[in-house]
Amino acid sequence: MAQNFAHGNYSHTQKKARNSGGGRTPRDRARRTLSQNFLVDRHAVDLVVKAAAPEGLVLEPGPGEGALTFALAEAGARVLGYELDPLLAGRLAARTRSDPRIDVVRGDFTAARAPREPFAVAGNIPYAATSRIVDWCLRAPGLTGATLLTQREYARKRTGDYGRWSLVTVESWPWFDWRLGDTVGRESFRPVPSVDSAILLIRRRPEPLVQNRRSWQELVELGFGGAGGSVRASLRARYEGVDAALRAAGVDRDAVVGHVHPDQWVTLWERLCH
């Protein structure tokens, strides 16, 4: 399921490679097109596996040469890897043919049907496909959690590390916890990308924080709509008792939407949508 950018990310392609001209073999061009940046640092692999704490079925987007694949299997997972690059898929399938813990499928992770049984996702994913992979994970009913090695900036944005929160995180918050894991430096990849990565942890909550998905989405999407420049101005267009709800949630009257913590949104929902 790895749009094979196996163990790599679009943004991982080095500027020098983008700007240089001839001399590339077909494999060089394929690697550039697929933005393959392989995880070669064993310590970085161990960090991902430790964060994933794999057990049961684990889907891996873009296993590439299999560094993380074998580590996940050794840690107790049954790994299903999706690899778009036919050469890499064939090589990894040949290496794992006699290993009952690992199956390799040539295909696009985001086009795959989610398993019916509970499963997790773990992988070093391509920057350009990050949003699509995350969206796929959030839509999968059987997903227990995802451990994704992404561009560090993306992981920081989604986990509020900049002091701001995104619509994707807030909208999914009642069902999923988002956390920022360890940083993995660019030197852990070959070819070496231009930016660092970080481990993004998304975990399904045992019980949702809200009981009505539709009313939650309507509230959050209205708040992020930006009418009037503040959460208060946006919500007052549809809801009564907004000022009291803001006080209960500890949200300033002039707060902009990105500064409202997801847990504060839960309080707003409890006050305005019940």
Q: Which residues are annotated as a binding site?
A: 37, 39, 62, 83, 108, 124
CA torsion through residues 17, 20, 21, 22, sign: negative
Helices (H), ranges, 75-212: 86-96, 130-139, 152-158, 167-172
Neighbours of 21 (CB within 10 A): 5
For the chain, the first-to-last Cα distance in angstroms comes to 40
Instruction: Select from 5, 3, 11, 80 the least CA-distant residue to 38.
Output: 5
Calculate the alpha carbon distances from 214 to 7, 201, 217, 221, 237 in Å.
Answer: 36, 25, 5, 11, 18
- Quick check: 6 and 85 in contact, CB under 8 A? yes
Element (H, E) at 217: helix 213-223
DSSP reduced 3-state for 248: helix
- Quick check: 261 and 163 in contact, CB under 8 A? no
Cα(195)–Cα(136) distance, integer angstroms:
25
> Binding site residues for S-adenosyl-L-methionine, as ranges?
37, 39, 62, 83, 108, 124
> DSSP assignment, residue 115?
P
Quote the Cα angle for 37-41-46, to 5°: 115
Q: Give the HSE-up count for residue 116: Cα atoms under 13 Å, Cβ half-sphere.
A: 0
